[in-house]
Amino acid sequence: MVDFIAPVIVAQNLQKKFGELVAVEGISFTVEESEVFGFLGPNGAGKTTAMRMIQCVSPKDDGKLEVFGMDVNTHQKEIKKNIGVVPQENNLDPDFTVYENLFVYSRYFDIPKKESKERVNSLLEFVQLEEKKDVMTYMLSGGMKRRLILARALVNNPSLLILDEPTVGLDPQARHLLWEKIRGLKKQNVTIVLTTHYLEEAAYLCDRLVIMDYGKILVEGDPDNIVKKYIGSDVVEVDNTKPVISCLDKTDINYETLDSTVQIYTNEPKDISDRLMKECKFEKITVRSATLEDVFLKLTGRKLRE
């Protein structure tokens, strides 16, 4: 017999509607144990809606969704007991101090008082908020609030952690600090599902990810492979001018035009730039590595959302 570890989340044709609007339209994915799985997508793509169904706080309309091998419709308490959640919107309890927030939250999970005190103290240390212990939460900076919510999500020692835009609105220092914490958790084999629209965040943290738009999954894979598959290794950029375009049209090179630049996705950047210099006499050519952002923009378009 083969040893078989069941996936942590299995979703098949998962669907959610709000009236006429289909927020999540038949998505399927599987999250394996101990991996960091990302949902990348522009605002309104349906990421939060998907997270809320996994958390058992929003009922699905159709499809199958199992967490820890249990159905989200019938085993909500058992599932919620082992999940930690960092919601998109901060919802710390403004009636309590930093310490009390964690302590009161641990009570909802039936953690005995003594154990809870120890755990709260070690979590405060983990997110570097020991000094703010007795401060009311509305006095905290944005980054501290997010860290406290991360600590709160960990009070029940969850085996699955859901992070819905964990670093939204934070400055680079605060973001990097939080990233390190998340990497630390990954080392402890916590399964993590995270949503983001920061491409570097997804590339830096995720083992695998999906890109979502308008409620659907467009691609799935690990960040490097996705970039290789959809873009290539590099992007060659030249200024968008009439002569540039007419010269490019004479070649067999595929290109994308933006407002002020033309982009060529390629695996042979040296070849391309040599040809452009020779055949078109371009002077300004930029070559850079392809990123997830290129894939993202290619697949979801450049139109502004919301």
Ligand X SMILES: Nc1ncnc2c1ncn2[C@@H]1O[C@H](COP(=O)(O)OP(=O)(O)O)[C@@H](O)[C@H]1O
Q: What is the smallest separation between the CB atom of 268 and another protein, expressed in angstroms?
A: 50
Q: How far is the CB of 41 from ligand X (least distance, A)?
A: 5
Residue with tokens 């040599």: 274
Distance CA 275, CA 257 (A): 19
Q: Select from 10, 70, 104, 287 the one that contacts another protein (CB under 8 A).
A: 104
Q: Is 109 near another protein (CB under 8 A)? A: yes
Alpha-carbon span 180 to 176, nearest angstrom: 6
User: Within the chain, what is the greatest distance between any pair of CA atoms?
Assistant: 76
Nearer to ligand X by Cβ, of 47 and 208: the residue is 47
Q: Which of 47, 60, 145, 186 binds ligand X (CB under 6 A)?
A: 47
Q: Which is nearer to ligand X, 45 or 170 (CB)?
A: 45
Inter-residue contact 151 to 124 (CB < 8 Å): yes
Nearer to Mg ion, 87 or 158 (CB): 87
Task: Please give the Cα distance from 67 to 81 (Å, whole number).
Answer: 12
CA–CA dist 121, 251 (Å, integer): 65
Rounded CA-CA distance 142/128 in Å is 14
Question: What's the Cα-to-Cα distance from 195 to each of 3, 201, 209, 211, rounded to whole Å?
Answer: 31, 10, 9, 10
128 binds ligand X (CB under 6 A): no
Smallest distance, Å, CB 282 to another protein?
Answer: 54
* Binding site residues, Mg ion, CB under 5 A: 47-48, 88
Q: Residue 225 carries which side chain, given as an amino acid letter?
A: N
Tokens representing 71 are 């159905």
Question: Interface with ligand X includes 289 (CB under 6 A)?
Answer: no
Residue 236 phi, psi dihedral angles, 5° rounding? -105, 130
CB of 15 to ligand X, least distance (A): 12
Among 48, 116, 156, 266, binds another protein (CB under 8 A): 156
The interface with ligand X within residues 17-36 (CB under 6 A) comprises 18, 21, 23
Is 194 one of the binding residues for another protein (CB under 8 A)? Answer: no
Q: Please list every residue from 62 through 101 that binds another protein, using CB under 8 A.
A: 76-77, 80-81, 83, 85, 87, 89, 91-96, 100
Q: Please, which of residues 203-242 interact with another protein by CB under 8 A? A: none
CB-CB contact of 38 with 194 (8 Å): yes
Sign of CA dihedral 78, 81, 83, 86: positive
Specify whether the CB–CB gap between 102 and 109 falls below 8 A: no
Contact range with ligand X by CB under 6 A, out of 16-24, 26-34, 97-105, 137-145: 16-24
Tell me the three state secondary structure of residue 148.
helix
Residue in the shown chain whose Cβ atom is closest to Mg ion: 48
The interface region with another protein, picked from 38-46, 104-112, 201-209, 219-227 by CB under 8 A, is 104-112
**Residue 196 binds to ligand X (criterion: CB under 6 A):** no
Distance CA 301, CA 202 (A): 18
Q: Which does 291 bind (CB under 5 to 8 A by kind): ligand X, Mg ion, another protein, none?
A: none
Our finding on whether 243 is near another protein (CB under 8 A) is: no
Chain length of the chain = 306
The residue ranges that bind ligand X (CB under 6 A) are 18, 21, 23, 41, 43-49
The residue ranges that bind another protein (CB under 8 A) are 18, 55, 57-59, 76-77, 80-81, 83, 85, 87, 89, 91-96, 100, 104-105, 107-110, 156
